[in-house]
Amino acid sequence: MPLPDEATAARNLFDTVGQQVFFHTLAGRGYPLTGAPENMQKQAAYLLDLAGQVNRAAQAQATKEAQTSTDPYLMILRDYQDRLTKAGVDVGRPLEQEQHASIMDAAARYAQDPILYDSALAVKAAEAAAWQQLAQQQAA
């Protein structure tokens, strides 16, 4: 079975694992979804929309800053920080225990799912290709 394309792989991982880690982390910080199931679904949609808008704003700012800088090490640092931020890691602080527990729980739960396994491989392959391309550009 071939690996899914990068966009499908990222969506598979986000829909299954990412959302659960996101909501578990929020609940651990005192922001649980509350009320009737239909209310919880609305709250979840609002939070996901907000998180998406924050990510887009952060990406736009990082892209704008990267375009003004030609320092290859600064560009690598910003890319790394952006990836950490997308993964839910506060770049200014160490990974918190509840988030680490959420990630480990999700990994244990979904490790045997072939769609998620292939999706993780596809995302990592695309990430490796992007890093290789960046390294080639820097060497040129």
Q: Which domain holds residue 94?
A: 6-139
Q: How confident is the model at residue 99 (pLDDT cuts 50, 70, 90)?
A: low
Q: Is residue 52 part of a domain?
A: yes
Mean pLDDT of the chain: 79
pLDDT, average across residues 15-25: 82
Domain presence at residue 39: yes
Q: Is residue 53 part of a domain?
A: yes
pLDDT interval class at 61 (50, 70, 90): confident
Lowest mean pLDDT among 41-45, 59-63, 92-96: 92-96
**In this structure, is residue 130 part of a structural domain?**
yes
How many domains, the chain?
1
pLDDT of residue 85: 77
pLDDT interval class at 16 (50, 70, 90):
confident
Answer whether residue 100 shows pLDDT above 80: no
* pLDDT average, residue stretch 103-122: 82
Angle between helices 114-139 and 6-13 (to 10 degrees): 130
88 Rama sector, left if φ>0, alpha if ψ -120 to 50, beta otherwise: left
Give the separation between CA 99 and CA 122, rounded to whole angstroms: 24
Within-domain flag for 109 = yes
Structural domain contains residue 29: yes
Query: Quick check: is 1 in a domain?
Result: no
The answer to the question of residue 83 being in a domain is yes
